[in-house]
Structure 1
Amino acid sequence: MGRRIAYIGEPVLTVAEVAYQCRLEPEDVQEELISGIIIPGVTAQAEAKTGAGIRVAEYEDHWPESYRSGHALDIGQAREVLSISRLAKDGSVELLDVAYFLRVDRQESFLIFTEERPPGELLIRYTAGTDLERCPAVRTWLLMQSATAHEFRETLVSGVSLAELPGSMLDTLLAEITVPPRF
């Protein structure tokens, strides 16, 4: 699985968008709760559920020598390859200057070397993140999850019976960016 190095983009939702979705009056908005817990929480939830980058971040994949040219990057919604390095047996890293292109499909992105794939274990550093203008259903999912997280902030609710919306209905909002299983 690709390792996130750091988020580099702005959060995918604003406090105002979440407050509007939650139907909050201005005096009822708890900015720290929304910006510090709810938005990062639903972003992480969507990333875990889909295998795609939601908020723009930098990632690193480790490619064993068995991964050939044209192999998919681990995180969906890749945007740009930042560097390709070779990992030596002593643990040192050698930056490579090789010709490649990134083929971006709807759910996955494939790194294709225009000449031969460099030998050895490779470290591929890239950015990934979902364009929510192109995938408005993902924004809808994030907002719906944010409103639910705001309404039910605790892990237990006593004395109330809750019924979830069918998961299949909600999960279809993420279908266009969900990375298919690779096993």
Structure 2
Amino acid sequence: MARRIEYFGDPVLTLAQVAYQCRVEPEDMEPELIEQIIIPGVTAQCESKTGAAIRGAVYEEDWPANFVSGHALDVGQATQIVSIMSQQPDGTWAEQAGPFELQQGQRESYLFFPVARPPGPLRIRYKAGLYIDLHPGVRNWLLMAAATIYRHPEMFLVGQTLAELPSAFLDHLVADITVPPRF
């Protein structure tokens, strides 16, 4: 399972977009609620539901020795390999210079080693994030989720976290980027 190391770039929604979706003027909204709870909350829900990185972030995952060249990375929408480290016999980690190739599919990205996969366990660090303009359904999912939570906070806000949204219609908006189960 990949670990998110850090986000980079701006959040995928803005206060103005959420205000427009809610048909409310931005100055009439509670900016802290929208920017610190609702936007991060719906982004995290979408990432959890799809298995794809929605907001740009750096991830790190460990591959056991039996993962071969061409194996899929855990998080969908991977765009760039930052580093590949291989575990040495003494337990230390050494950076691998390559060659390697990241092939991006619609839902998953695959890491290939054209010459030979380094032996032993690998630690792969990569950047991932959705180019939201190519997936307007995802933006619509996020905006509908944010507006629903804003309009009905008593149903979805639990302390500083969000409860899950109903999924029948909304799931189809993110189907294009949903990573298939890996069992």
Measured after TM superposition, the shift of residue 166 of structure 1 is 6.4
Q: What RMSD over aligned residues (CA atoms) do the two structures have, in Å?
A: 1.9
Q: State the one-letter code of the partner of 1:65.
A: A
Structure 2 unaligned regions, length at least 5: 158-164
Letter in 2 for 1:39: I
Alignment match, 1:167:
167
Opposite residue 115 of structure 1, the aligned amino acid is V
Inter-partner Cα distance in structure 2 for 1:58 and 1:116: 25
Q: CA deviation at 1:7?
A: 0.4
Percent identical across equivalent pairs?
Answer: 55
User: How far 1:182 moved relative to its partner?
Assistant: 1.1
How many residues were matched structurally?
177
Hey, which bits of structure 1, 4+ residues long, moved more than 4 A? none
**Normalising by structure 1, what TM-score?**
0.91
Pairwise CA distance, 1:156: 7.2
Alignment-mate amino acid for residue 5 of structure 2: I
- Scaled by the length of structure 2, what TM-score is found? 0.91
1:51 aligned residue: 51
The one-letter amino acid paired with 1:83 is S
Structure 1 gaps of 5+ residues are 158-164
- 2: CA distance between counterparts of 1:70 and 1:151? 45
User: Secondary structure, in 3 states, of the residue corresponding to 2:74?
Assistant: coil
- 1:69 corresponds in structure 2 to 69
Rate the CA distance shift 1:57–1:26 in 2: closer, same or farther, 3 A: closer
- CA, structure 1 residues 172+36, in 2 after alignment: closer, same or farther (shift >3 Å)? same
Give how far 1:39 is off.
Answer: 0.3
- Counterpart of 2:97 in structure 1 is 97
Q: In 1, Cα distance between the equivalents of 2:156 and 2:136?
A: 31
Counterpart CA distance in 1 for 2:147 and 2:98 is: 46
Check conservation: 2:43, 2:54, Cα contact below 8 A.
yes
SS in 2 for 1:47: helix
User: Counterpart in 2 of 1:2?
Assistant: 2
